[in-house]
Amino acid sequence: MRKLQVTCALLMAVILFSCSKETSIDNGGNPPGGPGGPGGALGNNCKVNTIIAADSLTGKGMFSLFTKFNASRQATRVEAYDSITLSLEAAADLIYKGDTIRVGSNEYFLTDASKRISKYYSLIDPADPASDEYVYNYSYDAAGYLKEKTISLSGIPIPIVKFVYTWAGGNLVKIEGNATVLGLNQKVLTADLTYDASKTAKNFIQVMPDAFETFLYMMAVDIGKKSTNVVKTIVMTTYDNNGAPSDTYTTLIKDVKFSTDGYITEWFAQGDSFDALGIFSGRTLFKYSCN
């Protein structure tokens, strides 16, 4: 299966994980059939806390994204764990102070009055504290859906990339990203999503194919309302430095399974994978933290 490669240098800061081997269930997860596994009811106020790339036959995990929540339902730690090498690929503790969520010495989020993410700051070169910062700005419509994201540099506080989000029927259906440097309006990415209108996703993850910068925090932070229905297809196109189509990635989501109280517990992704977004090829298990 093809995996999405980020071709635009403006969207660097991406960690693409390879999930090609098989082993036991990942750190933070539970075996299929256990809490958060297929069958039965999960409970009240459940939030996805683990996404596991799993063996299609056995359900054994290969890789996972994990988020720990405290008693107040705040995320306190995030981890990306490779169960093949039994190693932690990435991790961060979330420290809250006022409108700031600090996730590293030089990396943090700012939130708005509704506790949604309004800004995200990260160094261009994490190894160099003196390097310039990427600044991500998020804005929402009156209904609470993400409508726009811009990327700028702290040293040049004008957008260099702008993403626009289109919602219909409570679902994210289109994303268009354009480079805006020096007055240019050149495409860098487009994505179209379709949904199964017969299936509702109860308090599920935010499926946003362009969310490279926040994939590690996808279960931890609030980026507005989530799509109502279950995503069925994702078609993403990236563009070269001349704004011409470069690669197209198509993913079909099928074999979606639910708990008896309506939470998605697993699905199967056929086609291209978006590993950096938790959309793995093949079988994916979803575990939950409930009150």
Give residue 62's pLDDT.
87
- Collapsing DSSP states into helix, strand and coil, what is residue 220? coil
Give residue 39's pLDDT.
59
Instruction: Report the predicted TM-score, pTM, of the whole model to 2 decimal places.
Output: 0.85
**157 vs 206 pLDDT, higher one:** 206
User: What would the pLDDT profile of 178-235 be if each residue is shown by its tens digit?
Assistant: 998 877 789 999 999 999 999 999 999 999 889 889 989 999 999 999 999 999 999 9
How much is the mean pLDDT over the chain? 85
Domain boundaries, the chain: 9-13+46-289
Q: Compute the average pLDDT of residues 272-278.
A: 65
Give residue 56's pLDDT.
81
Question: Using 50, 70 and 90 to split pLDDT, how confident is the model at 277?
Answer: low
What percent of the chain is predicted at pLDDT more than 90?
A: 63
Question: Using 50, 70 and 90 to split pLDDT, how confident is the model at 149?
Answer: very high
Question: What Cα–Cα distance (Å) separates residue 214 from each residue in 38, 108, 168, 190, 211?
Answer: 28, 11, 23, 18, 6
Residue 10 has pLDDT above 80, yes or no: no
Residue 14 has pLDDT above 70, yes or no: no
Using alpha carbons, select from 22, 81, 58 the residue that is nearest to residue 266: 58
- Residue type (1 letter), 168: A
Residue 30 has pLDDT above 70, yes or no: no
Whether 64 contacts 88, CB under 8 Å: no
47-85 per-residue burial string, b: 16 or more CB within 10 A, e: under 16: bbbbbbbbbeeebbbbbbbbbbbeeeeebebbbbbbbbe
Question: Using 50, 70 and 90 to split pLDDT, how confident is the model at 278?
Answer: low
Q: Which CATH number fits domain 9-13+46-289: 1.10.3720.10, 1.10.1740.10, 2.40.160.10, 2.40.160.190?
A: 2.40.160.190
Question: Using 50, 70 and 90 to split pLDDT, how confident is the model at 32?
Answer: very low
Give the C-alpha separation, 132 to 160, whole Å.
Answer: 14
Phi–psi pair at 127, nearest 5 degrees = -85, -10
Question: What Cα–Cα distance (Å) separates residue 26 from each residue in 15, 37, 86, 88, 243?
Answer: 18, 14, 9, 10, 40
User: What would the pLDDT profile of 93-113 be if each residue is shown by its tens digit?
Assistant: 999 999 999 999 999 999 999
Give residue 59's pLDDT.
78
Burial of 96 (0-12, 13-18, 19+ CB in 10 A): middle
